[in-house]
Structure formats: C-alpha cells, structure tokens
Structure 1
Amino acid sequence: MAPPLLEVTGLSCRRGGRLVFDRLSFALGEGELLALTGRNGSGKTSLLRALAGLTPPHAGTIAWQGADISLDPETWRGRLAWLGHLEGLKGDLTVMENLVFAERLRGGEAGDRLEWALVALDLIGLSAREVRTLSAGQRRRTALARIVLSQAPLWLLDEPLNALDVPAQAAFRTALQRHLAAGGLAIAATHAELGIEGRSLELGPALSSTSPPLGGEAG
C-alpha cells in the first residue's frame, strides 16, 4: 500500500481565542477526495486555511510526503490550488487575462491548458469579457477554471458549488473527477452534496467521519 501524500497529525486551531477543533488527524493518498462538513463556525474554513499555510495552527503538524510543510512554505504553496469564498479575480481583466495572470503568478505559462480550462468550465464564450461584468456564477466558474489550470496536486476548495447552476455544477464535477483520476487530491468544505465518491469529515461538537475513520476530536 502506497504511503499517504498528505498527513495531518494532532492539528488544533483557534479563532478569536476559541478552540474550533482539537487534535485532528487524517491522511490522504493519491486520488482521494475529502469533504468537510458541519455547521457554520465549526472550523471548516479554519482547517482549509491552516492546510493552505494561510493561518498557523495552534498545535499539530501538516506533512506532504513526510516533510513538514512549515519548513518550506514556498514549495508548499506551489503544490496547492486555493479557492476561498472570494474568487480572487481582478475585475478589470478579462476571464482569459485573469487565468493567464494567475499562471504567471505561479511561475508558469498557461499554454495549451488554457483552452482546456475554458472549455471545462464552459467559459469560451465569456473569455473576452471583463470579470466585473459577469454574474456571480460566471465569476465562480472563472475561479474554478483557475484551479483546473493550475495542475496543482492538491485542491483546497471552500464551498466550490456556491452560485453555480446545475450545468456548471456538472462541469465542476467532471473537472474534479479528472483531477482525482490523475492522482490528485482535493479537500472541499461544503454544505451541499458534491456528488463524487470520497471520504467525509464532519467538524463540530461531535466529530465524525465515514469509513475509513479519520480520527481526531473537536472542541
């Protein structure tokens, strides 16, 4: 059995002086999806931010292929793609310009993958539109196209289905399934069913998970 790529051990996070979860441990291997569930304020976004290196945990470690991510944060940022509640797009740039700009920030070039990302999220017809003119759902699709384009092995997604209509949700699921089939990992905080087979972790007063167990406690 292959060793896990991502290992979280004894992770605790505080927000506003309050312990939102405590001694959380889990591991994920190639092609695995983990859905984070729980009520608002249960710590889903806090966990994603800790995994992304945006918020230091109160305790515990996060390791990629056995190496603590805190020892080389720049390399770690290059291994993940982050989608928060805010899309992180520049309103005065077009859809295509936003995607090209995002790839340059990552130190690469979009190349032939740009068209694939636009097609995957049904954005070809919107590629020349400035983002500020788009609807909420169209902006979300653009942000998801940025994730697809990144080719990062780990996707961290905070409510990825927000503002998406039924066809856009189906397009996202197809892109996510392709990512997982290629050996990628994804962790998504969600209140909605993702519609893809994977593991789940419920954060809250009573932490629970699907089989196989993830372990951990919540405060």
Structure 2
Amino acid sequence: MDGIIINELSLSGQFHDSQDFWKNGMPPFYKALQDARSFGVGYLFKQGSFYGAQATPDKTLHDLLTAPEARIIDEAKRYKSTLARAICNPFWDDAPQQDLNAHYLADEADVSGSSVAEATARAVCLLSFIRSLYGKHPVVVTKDGVAIPVGNIWKEQQLYAILFERGELPLEKYITTRFSGGKLDFSLIDDTHGFSLIDNENQNEFIDSFRKFE
C-alpha cells in the first residue's frame, strides 16, 4: 500500500465540543494511524483544505488546534502534535489522480473532487473519523456507473485485515499481529506445526477460530 488518504468527508461537526473531539475522536484516529506507521505506510495524504474540516458545530480542525482549551485538555496535549502533522503536506490535490471529468458517487452522494474519489485512483486506504457515515469497509464508490470498493479504516487493527485481503500481508504476520497481546501466545509455534500447514481453503475458518478468543 502506497499510502493513506485522510477522509475529510468523515468530519461534519459530529463531535459535540472540543472535549468530545479530543477525548473521543482523536484516540481511534491516532491508533489507526499508528497501525499504518507500524507497517511502513509511507504517505499520509489529505486535501489541501483539510485544516478547515468541521469537527464540531462551531470549530474546524484549525480552530481546535489554536483554541485556548487545547492547552488545558489532557487529550489535546497528547494528540495535538499528531493532528498538526495530519493537516500538513503532502496534499493529494497538488497532483490529483482522479478523473476530473468523471462523476463519483458514494451512497448516492456526489463525492467528486474529494479524498474519497481520489482514493479510487490510488492504491491507498481511507482513514476516517468515527461517528460518520464512513464507519464501514469497504466504501463503495461508483465512478460513472462502475462500482469500486475502497479500503477504509476508522479504528485500530482494521488495517491488518485490509492488507491481508490485498495480499500485502502474509497469513502468519496477520494472525500474530492481529491476535497477539490477548489470550493467545504464538511464541512456541514452529515451522513443523505452524502456519505452513494452513492452505487457502481453510485459512478463513482458521482466522474465525481465533476471533473466539477476543
């Protein structure tokens, strides 16, 4: 995966106030972003006007970064640098790859010219905020009548499954990353009795069995 595009359409003023955004909106965004960095996803693209996205009924992202309460709220102090970097370069609209003459629809809404449309033209995944219409994977975008599924994450651990679906993450890496840290311990698995015994036909059943331990 070449990069991730932040989905500005996933912000529509859905967070009640600054406290709600910093306390509830930023943690899942941050954790999903950390997953991307841990797998070496190089670029975090966004629209050039992303800083002006409406996060609360009366504040944009830029407003939240510069508001006095950003120096007081604990979560704001923790995630402020992450958000500040997220609104900076690189901007995909400096060199857009989407077809500017095409019409892009998502859930019957025109998303032409947006990050959602841009994601259909690149080998990337969308990164959305919670509490939006984009709390789903994939996001199905219709370009001039042709449906195109676009990967989308909005909380931690979702990227692993998308990379696995795309064939960019081996089964062993997916399992040990996705399900480690809980009740399962993979440290004693060897090549003789390990993941090499799993074939394509039964790997989904194998993965489902691990979900029972979550």
Output the TM-score relative to the length of structure 1: 0.27
Taking structure 2 as the reference length, the TM-score comes to: 0.27
More strand by share: 1
